[in-house]
């Protein structure tokens, strides 16, 4: 799959068998949301059941992203899969933990 980019963000995708890692760099814009949602859907439909989403250097996460991650998590669980979201900022980890039941892992900045 190609690496979608816009003026303010880039999505890097690494897939190995049933595992996938998606790394978002830059701003969480409307265009970036569409790219990430499309990539998650493609990965799940392609048979990836262990998906990791890294949101590095992200300063804010809004409800649209939380809902998208929750939806991806539900689709993965139906297939026995897991979603891990990695956020570098602890306050964003707390926000996501309060609003979604996504398995989280905090990275060091």
Q: What is the CATH number of the domain that holds 20?
A: 3.30.750.24
pLDDT of residue 31: 76
pLDDT of residue 1: 46
pLDDT of residue 11: 78
Residue-by-residue DSSP string for 38-93: HHHHHHHHTT--EEEEEETT-----HHHHHHHHHHHHHHHHTT-EEEEEESSHHHH
pLDDT of residue 101: 54
Domain coverage including residue 21: 5-106
DSSP state of 107: P
pLDDT of residue 19: 92
10-residue averages of pLDDT along the chain (109 residues): 55 86 80 86 90 81 82 89 83 70 49
26: left (phi over 0), alpha (psi -120 to 50) or beta: left
pLDDT of residue 51: 93
Half-sphere exposure of 30 (CA within 13 A, CB side): 0
Tell me how many domains the chain contains. Answer: 1
pTM for the whole structure: 0.76
DSSP state of 18: T
pLDDT of residue 99: 66
């Amino acid at each position: 799959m190609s690496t979608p980019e816009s003026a303010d963000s880039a999505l890097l995708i690494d897939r190995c068998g049933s595992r996938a890692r998606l790394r978002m760099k830059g701003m969480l814009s409307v265009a970036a949301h569409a790219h990430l949602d499309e990539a998650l859907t493609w990965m799940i439909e392609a048979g990836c059941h262990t998906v990791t989403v890294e949101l590095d250097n992200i300063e804010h996460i809004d409800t649209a992203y939380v809902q998208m991650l929750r939806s991806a998590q539900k689709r993965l669980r139906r297939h026995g899969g897991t979603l891990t979201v990695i956020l570098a900022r602890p306050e964003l980890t707390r926000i996501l933990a309060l609003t979604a039941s996504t398995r989280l892992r905090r990275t060091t900045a």
